[in-house]
């Protein structure tokens, strides 16, 4: 049996699991839509299969099952351009500190992330930077 078959947790993508396991306090991981440009130096974990598959929210839920998050960064533009997605994110992370930043700033901040997880999401500004917390 392969190692993924032995794993009891919910993240079975080997690259995503590796990145999450290597993260420390205050490290960041980004998840985003299919169109987000990823800086050359940032690892891209491409999960996109086709339009909307997997969705931004499905991947976010999967990552949150394993990653302790203390703060999230969202684009200011999400408030007006994708309020339904914003509401869904806030419902998933009701007690987490939210910082809104301009989308252009978010694109720059991807260079500091451990990785960018590309989804099949096709709605505007469906991007998030997760800042890891500690479980103790």
33 is in an annotated binding site: yes
Terminal-to-terminal C-alpha distance of the chain: 33
**Distance between CA atoms of 59 and 18, rounded to whole angstroms?**
15
Token couple for 19: 């990145």
Active site includes 114? Answer: no
103 is in an annotated binding site: yes
Tell me if the bond preceding 54 is cis, omega within 30° of 0: yes
125 is in an annotated binding site: yes
Nearest of 79, 56, 64, 68 to residue 25 by alpha carbon? 68
Catalytic position from the list 25, 51, 79, 99: 25
Token couple for 107: 């694109």
Name the residues annotated as catalytic: 25
- The annotation places the binding site for substrate at 33, 103, 125-127
């Amino acid at each position: 049996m392969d190692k993924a078959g032995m794993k009891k947790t919910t993240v079975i993508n080997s690259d995503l699991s590796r990145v999450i396991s290597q993260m420390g306090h205050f490290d960041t991981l980004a998840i985003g839509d299919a169109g987000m440009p990823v800086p050359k130096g940032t690892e891209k974990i491409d999960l996109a299969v086709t339009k909307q598959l997997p969705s931004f929210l499905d991947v976010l839920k999967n990552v949150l099952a394993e990653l302790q998050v203390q703060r999230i960064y969202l684009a200011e533009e999400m408030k007006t351009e994708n309020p339904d997605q914003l509401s869904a994110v806030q419902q998933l992370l009701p007690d987490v500190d939210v910082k809104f930043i301009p989308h252009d700033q978010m694109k720059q901040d991807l260079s500091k992330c451990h990785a960018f997880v590309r989804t099949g999401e096709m709605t505007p500004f469906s991007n998030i930077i997760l800042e890891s917390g500690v479980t103790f």
